[in-house]
C-alpha cells in the first residue's frame, strides 16, 4: 500500500476541541488537509477551528454528544452528505470513569462504552462509503494503553478500549481489499484532560479516588503534539499499530511476556514512578 497523502484530502477528527484531537487537527492542517472537526464542547472547538482557519485551511465543525446514538447518526449523515469523499477518519474522542465494577452503576458503565466504542463503530460504519470513494483513504481508531492491559478501577474504560482494539484489528483485514489503511493507536501517558474530566462512579470513595487521580496525573508527561505527530507518522507509513511512549510500549511488552502475571510488575513500576515524580514521596521512602 502506498504512503498516505494528506494534501488536498478531507479529514474527520472526533474529540477535536482539545488534547490529542486538537493537536491532530493542527498537524493535519500543516500537512494540507481540509478538516471536519467534531466535539461536544462547542466553545473550545470553535477556538481550534478559528486558529486553523487563520492558516488558510478550510474547517467545518459539528457539535455532537457521541453518547447519544441518534445525535451520532444525524451528524454522520451531515458529514457524509457534505463530504461524499473522505480521505481520513480519526475516531479519537473518549471519556473515562473511575471506579471498580461494583462501584459504578450500569448506566455509568454504559456511558463509557457508548462514547468509546459504539460511537467509533457507528461513525466508521456510516462514513465507510465516503472512505471507499476516496482512493488511498485511511482509518485511525484511538484505543489506549488500557486497550493493552486492564488495571483495576478502570473496568469500563478498559472494556471499551479493548473493544476498539479488536474492532480495529478485524476491520484492518476486511478493508485491505479496498485499499483502505487502518491504524489502531495506543497512547500511554499523554497530558490531556481525560483524567480531570472523568466521571466518578456513584459508589466510589471520593477521597480515595482523588488521591489516585493525582498520582495518575503525574504519569501524564507526553505532550499531545508529540502524540499527534507519532500518529500522523504512523498514518503516512500505513502502520497497523502505533504505541505512544514507554508507558504504552513497556506494558505491551510485559503483557506479551507475562500474560497472567504482568499486573504485579506494573503495580510496582507505577509506585516507583510516582515516587520519582513526587519529592515528598521519595523523602518518606526508606533507603
Positions annotated as catalytic residues are 157
Residue 97 sits at φ, ψ, to 5 deg, of -140, 125
Query: What is the spatial distance between Cα 110 and Cα 133, in angstroms, rounded to a whole number?
Result: 33
Q: Are 72 and 119 in contact (CB under 8 A)?
A: yes
Contacts of 190 (CB under 8 A, 6+ apart): 19, 20, 220, 222, 223, 224, 227, 244, 245
Residues 6+ away with beta carbon under 8 Å from 70? none
Amino acid at each position: 500500500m502506498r504512503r498516505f497523502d494528506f494534501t488536498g484530502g478531507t479529514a474527520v477528527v472526533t474529540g477535536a476541541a482539545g488534547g490529542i484531537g486538537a493537536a491532530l487537527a493542527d498537524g493535519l492542517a500543516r500537512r494540507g488537509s481540509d478538516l471536519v472537526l467534531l466535539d461536544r464542547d462547542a466553545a473550545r472547538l470553535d477556538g481550534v477551528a478559528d486558529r486553523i482557519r487563520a492558516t488558510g485551511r478550510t474547517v467545518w465543525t459539528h457539535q455532537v454528544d457521541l453518547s447519544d446514538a441518534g445525535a451520532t447518526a444525524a451528524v454522520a449523515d451531515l458529514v457524509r452528505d457534505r463530504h461524499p469523499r473522505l480521505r481520513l477518519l480519526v475516531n479519537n474522542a473518549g471519556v473515562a470513569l473511575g471506579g471498580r465494577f461494583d462501584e459504578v452503576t450500569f448506566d455509568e458503565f454504559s456511558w463509557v462504552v457508548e462514547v468509546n466504542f459504539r460511537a467509533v463503530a457507528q461513525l466508521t460504519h456510516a462514513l465507510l462509503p465516503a472512505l471507499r470513494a476516496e482512493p488511498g483513504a485511511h482509518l485511525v481508531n484511538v484505543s489506549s494503553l488500557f486497550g493493552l492491559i486492564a488495571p483495576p478501577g478502570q473496568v469500563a474504560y478498559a472494556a471499551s478500549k479493548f473493544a476498539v482494539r479488536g474492532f480495529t484489528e478485524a476491520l484492518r483485514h476486511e478493508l485491505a481489499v479496498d485499499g483502505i489503511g487502518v491504524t489502531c493507536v495506543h497512547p500511554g501517558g499523554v497530558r490531556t484532560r481525560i483524567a480531570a474530566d472523568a466521571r466518578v462512579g456513584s459508589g466510589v470513595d471520593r477521597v480515595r479516588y482523588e488521591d489516585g487521580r493525582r498520582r495518575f496525573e503525574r504519569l501524564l508527561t507526553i505532550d499531545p503534539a508529540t502524540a499527534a505527530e507519532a500518529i500522523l507518522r504512523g498514518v503516512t507509513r500505513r502502520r497497523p499499530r502505533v504505541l505512544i511512549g514507554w508507558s504504552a510500549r513497556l506494558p505491551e511488552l510485559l503483557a506479551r511476556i507475562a500474560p497472567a502475571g504482568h499486573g504485579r510488575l506494573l503495580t510496582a513500576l507505577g509506585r516507583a514512578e510516582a515516587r520519582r515524580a513526587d519529592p515528598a514521596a521519595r523523602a518518606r521512602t526508606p533507603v
